[in-house]
Each structure stands twice: as structure tokens, then as C-alpha cells.
Copies of this chain bind each other. A is one copy, B any other.
């Protein structure tokens, strides 16, 4: 008998039929003898609708009031899921983030968990009741409602699994697991059985949309095994766990692409200490999420600095670079939205120096130009023209034989 925390995202509980499917699945798990704790997101597109409504009502939307609004969506979902379970004869009770013991800081709309005090959840489990917990919410020490941010339900589930010392945290979603690459781009893409936390984090950072990075970090730090799986087919999905000796054979696990970033280049910057620091400090202060940063060795005392930012933050980034240009003595500032980042990820590349060469050769052989490169111990990313991104993913998926490996 295992204790499982099962998280269901918005598409998994989008309407009464889907809620019924989820309740039936939980009833099956209970029959099998497992103890189940549910974490539920708002139904379907409800969070988006609430945000739109707030935009219609006021241009001024204090974080405290926004969090009260957004968290209403999950309350609705948990009560309905709990009723559906009761309707199947499974005793269930719903709990808000506050009732489930999620104490957070007061950073509204993006609150961090300070502590989980799951006394009521434990009591419910002991009483044979399925607790249905609202995802992505908590309460501050000042007794105000807080929202953990989009994707925060994954974090709620992982934190609750840790607090309850659960055997696993299952993240049910509308995809059936983690794939070697996007199956829409490469039909041969394969669902992986297992992947390490480090690889999952690199994939997430490289553009893989699910699960939310914060929850993977939390699970990694607290050693909570994750199981990413489908709420539609109910088949087993992908386990995200600690590194495993048998995994070492794998050179590359996955190819990930991200076409939501733009490139900024500050050209002809004199090679003086402190120049880059001052620029990136100003970008950080303006909440611009700088991703890749590349600086070439200086030639003749001047260098080029390139970096990528989300498309939506390009305007802000360009304004800051423009106003810093004179102070930096830079020759010019340019940008390019027509790019994509293609990454290969795999824990096995750590001990294999040929991976990068193979990637660059493959792209070159296919006439795909590389504009920027950055690497970590288990990832290599190349910025390529946006129009070549899908082709880059396809040829890399093939050359590393990702469709054929079987773990």
C-alpha cells in the first residue's frame, strides 16, 4: 500500500465528464489499496478567464486582490472533484491551500512556500478520507490568501508529497509523459520511461513546457520521485528520479527547442572590466529574464556581447541597451526575433567529448547556421534561424538515435 499524491491540471478537470473520469481513476487506485491525496488546478481555461475579467474591471490590480480572485478557480475545482468522489462512494473532503497548511511569504501572485503543516490532510488520510487540495495557493502569516503562480499546482503537489513522506508524486496532464522531443515535430519521438532530475531541469530550461521547473527543483531537492503521466489514457508515463547507474549508457536523452526568445547583440564593446556586469544588472532590475549569454574573446580590444530574452521582453531590453550604449562605448545594438534555441540534453554527455562536435557537424551538414552556442555539463544549446528549428530537431533526433533507445 502506497501513499500517492496525484496532481490534476486544468485540462484534466475541464468539465463534469473529465471530473468524473478523474474520480473513477481515484476510486480504482483506492480499490488497489493505495492512499491517495489529490491536488487540483482550476478547471480548463478558468484562470485565463478570471485574469481577463480583472483586466476588464480595473487597470489597477493589487496583488492581494488578484490572488483572492485567481484562487477562487481552484476552490471551485476541488469542491466539484470532492463531490464527484463522494458520488462514487469514495469519502472525500476538499481543502484550500490555507486549510491544507500551506504557509507562504507575502509575494503575491508568485508566493513561495515557507512551510507545509499538513495536520488536517494527515487526519483525513487516517480517517480513510481522500483529501482534495487546491493547487497553487496558500496563506501568508498575515492571514492573506496567496497564489503560487501559474504552474504552481505542480509545486503544491511536490511539497505535499514531501510533507506527507509520500511514495510518489504523480503529475497527471494532457500529455502521456516526457518525450525524446516534441512528437508534433518528430512523429518517431518516444516517451521515456525514466529521466533524471538534472536532465528534466535542463529540458525545462531549454523550453520543455511541462512539468513546471519550480516543482522539479523542489522534487530534486527533497528527493520526491515524480511520475509525469496522462489523465486521458491513464497509462504509465515517465518517472523523474535521482540518477541511476543503468542510465549512464545514454549519451543524449532528448532534443528540445524553444522559439519564444529573441537575440540581442551589443557590438564593438571595449573590453573593460565591469561593462557586462553593469548592463546585466540593469536588465535584471527591469525583470528581463536573460537566458543565454555569449561573449566572444576580444579582438583588438573590443568584443560583441549577445544574449537571448523572451520575445515579450525584447522591447524593454532594447531600450536599456540603447540607453547604456554610450556609457559602454559600444559601436551598436541590434536584435533578431527570427531565432530559435535547439538543445540536446543527456547526463551521459558529461564523459563524452564527442557530443558537441556531432551536433555541430550534423547542423552544418544540413545547412543550418549556428548563431550562438552555450553549454552546461549535460546540455548543449545552439541558436539557429527560427525557420530551421524543426528541421534541426528532426536531424538531431535522428543522428542521436533517440527513437531507438529503450529507457
Chain A residues close to B by CB (< 8 Å) = 16, 19-20, 50, 53-54, 56-62, 64-66, 68-69, 71-73, 75-76, 78-80, 82-84, 86-87, 92-94, 96, 99, 120, 143-145
Contact = CB atoms under 8 A, between A and B. Distances in A.
B53 A65 contact: no
Contacts of A16: 53, 56-57
Given A57-B16, A57-B87, A75 B68 contact: yes
A64 to B, nearest CB: 7
Given A50-B76, A76-B69, A83 B61 contact: yes
Given A54-B79, A57-B84, A68-B75, 17 more contacts: A16-B53, A16-B57, A50-B76, A53-B76, A57-B80, A58-B80, A58-B83, A58-B84, A62-B86, A64-B93, A64-B94, A68-B79, A68-B94, A69-B75, A72-B75, A96-B145, A99-B144
Contacts of A69: 75-76, 79-80, 83
Contacts of A84: 57-58
Contacts of A92: 65
A99 B57 contact: no
Among A83, A92, A93, the one with the most B-chain Cβ atoms within 10 Å of its Cβ is A83
Contacts of A71: 75
Given A65-B82, A99-B143, A87 B59 contact: yes
14 contacts: A16-B57, A54-B79, A54-B80, A58-B80, A58-B86, A61-B87, A62-B93, A66-B83, A68-B75, A68-B79, A68-B96, A69-B76, A69-B83, A72-B73
A83 B65 contact: yes
A26 B86 CA distance: 43
Contact of A54 (B54, B83, B93, B145): B83
A24 B56 CA distance: 15
A80 B78 CA distance: 22
Contacts of A79: 54, 65-66, 68-69, 72
Nearest to A99: B143
Contacts of A59: 87
**Copies of the protein in its oligomer:** 2
A69 B73 CA distance: 10
Given A16-B57, A75-B72, A76-B50, A65 B93 contact: yes
Contact of A57 (B54, B64, B83, B94): B83
Contacts of A68: 75, 78-79, 82, 94, 96
Nearest to A93: B64
B87 A60 contact: yes
Contacts of A66: 79, 83
A83 to B, nearest CB: 4
A73 B73 CA distance: 9
Contacts of A93: 62, 64-65
A72 B144 CA distance: 16
A181 to B, nearest CB: 37
Contacts of A20: 57
Among A75, A79, A96, the one with the most B-chain Cβ atoms within 10 Å of its Cβ is A79
A80 B53 contact: yes
A26 to B, nearest CB: 13
A63 to B, nearest CB: 11
A76 B57 CA distance: 12
Given A16-B57, A53-B16, A76-B72, A65 B94 contact: yes
Contacts of A19: 57
Contacts of A54: 79-80, 83
A297 to B, nearest CB: 51
Contacts of A120: 143
